């Protein structure tokens, strides 16, 4: 089958499939007489595997590593477990950071409701932002303390 058919069966765009080809995650099985790349059901399965790995939080690099392990006859599942544990920990850190940002935004919104709009004076851009962001160190301490309390309570 040609590239467009492979992409369609795998549920990805042709650009996505071309990207996977460029980075070596998928290989064409050959070429037609007029130069079009050809693909097999195995290619479709590989693309579906990659998409499944991405949907679980693995990176393209992770997926490539697992594919290579399988091609060498190694068992990729133990490595997949280790990688997913790492990705889960990363997600937890990112979630904590996103929650800290969300709380900062909530505090800013509440604070800004009590403040008037400033008139540009040539020295500041937006007094609301500058006034709220004057002490980023104390904001960071508040955020870290709230995260620690939440973890000890949960």
**Tens digits of residue pLDDT in 61-114:** 999 999 999 999 999 999 999 999 999 999 999 999 999 999 999 999 998 888
H-type alpha helices, the chain: 3-10, 14-22, 41-55, 60-71, 77-113, 127-132, 136-153
Contact 6, 43 (CB under 8 A): yes
Contact 5, 39 (CB under 8 A): yes
Contact 45, 11 (CB under 8 A): no
Question: What's the CA gap between 87 and 105, in Å, rounded?
Answer: 26
- Confidence label for 131 from pLDDT (cuts 50, 70 and 90): confident
CATH code for the structural domain at 3-52: 1.10.1660.10
pTM for the predicted model, two decimal places: 0.71
- The angle formed by the CA atoms of residues 66, 94 and 130, to the nearest 5 degrees, is 145
Question: What's the CA gap between 99 and 19, in Å, rounded?
Answer: 33
Return the structure tokens found at 107: 């505090």
Strand 30-31 and strand 37-38: pairing? antiparallel
pLDDT tens, residue by residue, 24-75? 999 999 999 999 999 999 999 999 999 999 999 999 999 999 999 999 999 9
Instruction: Cite the residue boundaries of each domain of the chain with CATH code 1.10.1660.10.
Output: 3-52
């Amino acid at each position: 089958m040609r590239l467009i058919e492979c992409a369609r069966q795998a549920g990805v765009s042709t650009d996505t499939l071309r990207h996977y080809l460029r980075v070596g995650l998928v290989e064409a099985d050959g070429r037609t007489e007029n130069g079009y790349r050809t693909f097999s059901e195995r290619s479709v399965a590989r693309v579906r595997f990659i998409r499944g790995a991405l949907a679980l939080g693995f990176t393209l690099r992770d997926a490539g590593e697992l594919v290579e392990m399988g091609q060498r006859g190694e068992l990729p599942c133990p490595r997949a477990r280790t990688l997913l544990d790492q990705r889960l920990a990363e997600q937890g850190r990112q979630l904590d950071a996103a929650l800290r940002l969300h709380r900062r935004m909530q505090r800013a919104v509440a604070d800004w409701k009590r403040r008037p709009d400033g008139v540009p004076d040539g020295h500041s851009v937006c007094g609301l932002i500058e006034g709220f962001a004057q002490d980023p160190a104390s904001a960071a301490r508040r955020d870290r303390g709230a995260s620690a309390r939440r973890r000890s309570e949960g």
